[in-house]
Amino acid sequence: MAQPQHQAVYATDEYGRPFIIVREQATKTRSHGVEAIKANILAARTVANIVRTSLGPRGLDKILISPDGEITVTNDGATILGQMEVDHQIAKLLVQLSKSQDDEIGDGTTGVVVLAGALLEQSEALIDRGIHPIRIADGFDRACKVAIEQLNKISEEIEFSQNDTSNLLKCAMTSLGSKIVSKAHQQFAQIAVDAVMQVADFERRDVPFDLIKVDGKPGGSLEDTTLIKGVLIDKDMSHAQMPRSVKDAKLAILTCPFEPPRPKTKHKLDITSVEEYKNLRDYEKQKFADMIKMVKDTGANLVICQWGFDDEANHLLMQSDLPAVRWVGGPEIELIAMATNGRIVPRFEDLTPEKLGRAGIVREVSFGTTRDKMLVIEQCANTRAVSIFVRGSNKMIIDEGKRALHDALCVVRNLVVNNRVVFGGGAAEISSSIAVAKAADEIPTIEQYAMRAFASALDAIPLALAENSGLPPIETLAEVKSRQINEGNSRLGIDCVGSGENDMKKQWVYDPLISKRQQYLLATQLVRAVLKIDDIITAGGEEE
């Protein structure tokens, strides 16, 4: 390790007398060896404990306040961790863990962090008993393999078809049970299932999420949320006197502005007389007229433009009976092109009838006393594009509704990709825990301790579910675990809703197998990485 360099700084006390502060510079080591590992585990456990209370259908919400004072209320693990400001490097790894679960699976972001925190808590006890961190990590890897084998063994296939989506609906309702939209969770689950079934490619077992657009406006209640088979954009016609709806729409989708061409080099134009000014105005008007003629010659009866156009162009479009929508963003332009089977055109000269998008009707919708307007493109040429329009009392509720819908859409998408499910309510974790503990008894090496610790860590999920539901956690877990062993029923879990039924199949609490499997793998990988870190070094120093 490099020797610290000392730097002298002069300062004065309250009487003006000078004294010297010696400040260390260059490389400094904060912690080392076992102390560093324990400090890392403490940081990770702190983060895990924050989201632990948000797990399950009775989980509590968190208020997140951004630096500019904006409030977010959520119990979505990825959102809570993504918006938290964490300074510790290991805590940042847990934030990334939650994000990777969100990106890959979309659901289970809280559970994966709680599991990782429990594994680290168990590994701390093993380190105190003198077991080397690498042996602990190896034991966790072996235990994870056993747990995943058990998941595969207890998983069941759920049958669904385009005509019968009742099983998909149950899984979507499970993911929404812990969200703020649980008041309307059957409606939201139905919307999520309908949206995925509309865009899914069953031959390739793929769901292109770019064909599903989720938008929202404050006002109305959550029950007013609707699924639109088409595209919804937060724009209106560019001129108040343009028609409010266009039937049999042929859309010219432009990324070029309605304005005269400009030279690409630096230029200067001097206008010295009224005549020259009139000539310029006539030239611009002629250019506008030519552009409108090019569009109308292709047979287009609606223009979607990525850029704006000035009042003169707008007036000429209105006079030419050519409705237009301006300032449509890039993602919306792409979605409109996909939905209407149109081509995005960068120059007026390239516009041809074959490149026009087609839709049955394009109409403006307005709502509330504010008369907010949005544009709906329905009966599109590509019928697979859908939009979900979320309503709610304020922006915070709408944002949480969007996050809940994202989770539900991801759950249904995962089941289209792989239709195997395990049972929720901690049932899968308890079953895996029993299997891992049993496998540990057959291993003669020191890794058996790590495997038992892994089994104990899996119990953290049902313990947290019971605690968040107001049940005595240890007694509830012990009872369900003994019943699973005695009855050989891997479907028994924590009764979070107080229905008196512990069989999760009868409660219809399903989790996609790939979601649960990914949770185990990601948590184990992260814990292995943390256990291998025995030093945190801050390199470099302040330079005056």
Bridging pattern class, strands 302-305 and 245-254: parallel
Which residues have a Cβ under 8 Å from the Cβ of 363 and sit 6 or more positions away?
A: 244, 245, 246, 375, 376, 378
Active site residue 407: yes
Q: Which of 72, 74, 76, 340 is catalytic?
A: 76
Find the farthest-apart pair of alpha carbons in the chain and give their distance in angstroms, rounded: 100
3-state secondary structure of 389: strand
Specify the residue for token string 């969770």: 185
Which residue, among 299, 386, 403, has the nearest Cα to 335 in the 3D structure? Answer: 386
Is 76 one of the annotated active-site residues of the chain?
Answer: yes
Handedness of CA 394, 396, 399, 404 (dihedral sign): negative
Specify whether the CB–CB gap between 195 and 388 falls below 8 A: yes
Tell which residue, 172, 77, 284, 178, has the closest CA to residue 511.
172
- Annotated catalytic, 110? yes
Task: Yes or no: say if 181 and 394 are a contact pair by the CB < 8 Å rule.
Answer: no
CA distance 28 to 401: 47
Whole-number Å distance between alpha carbons of 412 and 193: 6
* Annotated catalytic residue 236: no
The first and second tokens of residue 112, run together, are 């994966």
Q: Classify 243 as helix, strand or coil.
A: coil
Query: Of the listed 138, 407, 495, 511, which one is catalytic?
Result: 407
Q: Which of 53, 109, 174, 476 is catalytic?
A: 109
Q: Do 244 and 237 contact (CB within 8 A), yes or no?
A: yes
Q: Which residue has the tokens 């995925």?
A: 196
In the 8-state DSSP scheme, what is residue 2?
P
Helix (H, G, I), strand (E, B) or coil at 31: strand
Among the listed residues 221, 209, 210, 217, the one whose alpha carbon sits nearest the alpha carbon of residue 236: 217
Coil, helix or strand for 177? coil
* Active-site choice (79, 110, 174, 524): 110
Q: What is the number of other CB atoms lying within 10 angstroms of the CB of residue 474?
A: 12
Tokens of 188: 């939201």
Category of 262 on φ-ψ map: left (φ > 0), alpha (ψ -120 to 50) or beta: beta
Give me 158's structure tokens. 């759920």
468 and 440 Cβ atoms separated by less than 8 Å: no
Report d(CA 231, CA 228) in Å as an integer.
7
Question: How far, in Å, are 51, 61, 140, 189, 217 from residue 180 at the CA level?
Answer: 16, 9, 35, 13, 17
Residue 326 tokens read as: 């301006």
The residues assigned a catalytic role are: 76, 109-110, 407
